[in-house]
Amino acid sequence: MFSTAFLLSAGLLLASLPSVANASLSSHFHRDAPWNNRLAKRTYYPAPATDYYTIKTPTNVTIRYKTPGEDGVCETTPGVGSYSGYVDLSEDVHIFFWFFESRRDPARDDFTLWLNGGPGSDSLIGLFEELGPCRINENLTTVINPYSWNNVSNMLFLSQPVGVSFSYQAITNGSLGNSTGGFLNSSQADQTGTWSTLVPDNEGEIDTTDLAAIAAWEALQGFLEALPQLHANRAWQPRKFNLWTESYGGHYGPAFFDYFYKQNEKIQNGSMPGYAMEFNSLGLINAIISETVQAEHYPEFAVNNTYGIKAYNDTVYSYAKFATHMVGGCLSQIQSCIRAAQDIKGGYVKGKITPVATGFQAIAAVCAEAANMCRDNVESMYYNYGDRGTYDIRHPSNDPTPPSYYEDYLNQAHIQKALGVSVNYTGSNSDIYYLFQQTGDFIYPNFIQDLQDIIASGVRVALAYGDADYICNWFGGQAVSLALNHTHKAEFLAAGYEPMLYNGTEYGETRERGNLSFTRIYESGHEVPYYQPQAALAHFQRVIEGLDIPEGKERVTANLTSNGPLNATHTNAYVSLPPTESSKLASWSSSIVASYDALDVLPPPTETPTPA
């Protein structure tokens, strides 16, 4: 299983990463490392996928796809199309996608790309655990999610960068290392399945967010050009584009959107062929955007949060705080990384570290060291000395939420066949995580700069943070919202927090001014749409439809301003940890999962729901 050290250094991998297995837990609620489950199983290899529909786009990209909904996989709402398969960008770059038509009006609704973070984590985490059309039960049956975001938008889930989940350069029999999670070939260890691997020698070339942006754009364009030809598809020519993402998506979102936006302009002005869209919104959920701004909020959140939880003592707090600010500490090493990039021509441009710098080994090493310093001495104190959840401070560190049954669901032959894949599933690719770690991408100053450009372009930018998450806590998210430089910064700072209401319930509080907003969502861990499906859908819908976030009643204008106190002062009830004794913990886990499952049930049809 993963050692503690790995889990901690890999803290940004999404919640589907298993907690360190606790031997006293019953196997039932034991969030076992998936590769341990794999080893326990008899080894069966996925059969080669067959019977695809195939499309060749005008730019020579091949799309191979299937219609899993017709086989009862995931989206079974009558009349709602779903398509999964590959965008084949080259001989050795095959990007997995899963597209769902809107349940409302696919021809007129927006087109939204959803991405999870990692780096190396799969967007199907979001599909199954958060905002997609279905969720998976413990017995591997599916349930329709009535708060799916495809209720109001066409939704595309991409597994990226190549190597993540079903996306592949090569497909190889082998296993995943017990403690690193990295791929091992059959000469290195006994084979346990068929895995997506990077070439050559299992080393991909995508090791920064900015490089991932270029690759993701190619995949998105390939898909969009094929979209009108997907058979029986009703979302055939979407125009309005949204990018929503989470966690390491605080890097992906700003960088991808900024790059996509500029490419889109070239298509619009005719200097490049392609599928042009109208860029509508960028949504960032519990996102790590700027370590420079967010680092100091790790120790603050650990000891002085709105739940009245003190996760570690004053000695540890002082250490983490000192490590943030000391000479040679986290913030100072980030500056060393920036100075290193400035050493070479074109290494640091407009406040951003460029691929010219990151391709230079010595610079990458300085930046990687800065990222390690920050993680190991500031962020990780909570994991080392606390006993609460990485992604939810209300829960124990071996948090049973959200359950990740979907991984087992996707490792079944009949599901793989319906999706058109012939590779075993894993929600996070450790090799990609390590590649990004080696460049220090985590601490780059680039993403706040990208975000400023996007705000200046007039596109709507919405930040939303569940207030119980530690790893991308809302203190840090709020600090980013306040640090951003833009024309209406003063007005944004002066705007007050207004309650965010849905159906008469206050789910959070929002500061908004024109196209920028920051929303704190109460009683929610990292994966907000799992913990607060109603609030997450209402927030998404209001943003993409150009409505105010607190109530969804007013049209957004350049001067729309929220009213209220300058601080988000709502306090939450203290939550004690469950008993550690195994049977009691199992029953607590079971009831907490059931309580979240219950949120997905729509009110009886006799009630008149208040419009979002």
Ligand X SMILES: *[C@@H]1O[C@H](CO)[C@@H](O)[C@H](O)[C@H]1NC(C)=O
Strands in 132-239 per DSSP E: 134-136, 142-144, 153-158, 170-176, 183-185, 193-197
Among left, alpha and beta (phi > 0; psi -120 to 50; other), residue 546 is left
- Identity of the residue, 207 or 529, whose beta carbon is nearer to ligand X in the bound complex: 529
As measured in angstroms, the least distance from the Cβ of 363 to ligand X is 21
**Rounded to whole angstroms, how far apart are CA atoms 154 and 147?**
14
Task: Name the residue among 251, 50, 87 with its Cα closest to residue 167.
Answer: 87
HEC letters along 92-152: CEEEEEEEECCCCCCCCCEEEEEECCCCCECCHHHHHHHHCCEEECCCCCEEECCCCHHHC
Phi and psi torsions of 183, nearest 5°: -70, 135
Using rule CB under 6 A, residue 169 touches ligand X: no
Catalytic residue set: 247, 469, 526
| 542-561 residues near ligand X, rule: CB under 6 A | 557-559
| Among positions 57, 77, 208, 233, the unique one binding ligand X when judged by CB under 6 A | 77
From 41-49, 83-91, 160-168, 280-288, give the range in contact with ligand X by CB under 6 A.
Answer: 41-49
Using rule CB under 6 A, residue 319 touches ligand X: no
Using rule CB under 6 A, residue 460 touches ligand X: no
Task: Name the residue among 382, 402, 384, 377 with its Cα closest to residue 393.
Answer: 382
Give CA 137 to chain center in angstroms: 21
| # residues near ligand X by CB under 6 A | 50
Using rule CB under 6 A, residue 45 touches ligand X: yes
Task: Name the residue among 175, 150, 181 with its Cα closest to residue 83.
Answer: 150
Using rule CB under 6 A, residue 514 touches ligand X: no
**Rounded to whole angstroms, how far apart are CA atoms 266 and 510?**
35
What's the full length of the chain, in residues? 612
Whose tokens are 């090569």? That residue is 170
As measured in angstroms, the least distance from the Cβ of 61 to ligand X is 9
Give CA 68 to chain center in angstroms: 23
As measured in angstroms, the least distance from the Cβ of 264 to ligand X is 21
Cα→Cα distances 483→432, 449, 477, Å: 30, 11, 10
As measured in angstroms, the least distance from the Cβ of 604 to ligand X is 8
Neighbours of 487 (CB within 10 A): 11
Mark residues 216-255: x for contact with ligand X by CB under 6 A, - for none: ----------------------------------------
Planar angle of CA 479, 330, 476, nearest 5 degrees: 15
Using rule CB under 6 A, residue 424 touches ligand X: yes
| Among positions 112, 165, 411, 428, the unique one binding ligand X when judged by CB under 6 A | 411
As measured in angstroms, the least distance from the Cβ of 69 to ligand X is 13
As measured in angstroms, the least distance from the Cβ of 362 to ligand X is 26
Would you give the DSSP letter of residue 590? H
Using rule CB under 6 A, residue 46 touches ligand X: yes
| Among positions 84, 153, 194, 247, the unique one binding ligand X when judged by CB under 6 A | 194
Neighbours of 127 (CB within 10 A): 26
Mark residues 465-494: x for contact with ligand X by CB under 6 A, - for none: -----------------xx-x-------x-
As measured in angstroms, the least distance from the Cβ of 195 to ligand X is 9
- With residue 179 as reference, give the H or E element that holds it: none
Using rule CB under 6 A, residue 588 touches ligand X: no
CA atoms within 13 A on the CB side of 326: 12
Mark residues 96-115: x for contact with ligand X by CB under 6 A, - for none: -------x------------
Using rule CB under 6 A, residue 137 touches ligand X: yes
Using rule CB under 6 A, residue 141 touches ligand X: yes
Q: Which residues bind ligand X (CB under 6 A)?
A: 36, 38-39, 41, 44-46, 60, 77, 103, 137, 139, 141, 146-147, 151, 171-173, 178, 189, 192-194, 304, 313, 315-316, 385, 411, 413, 416, 424, 448, 482-483, 485, 493, 503-504, 534, 557-559, 566-567, 602-603, 607, 609
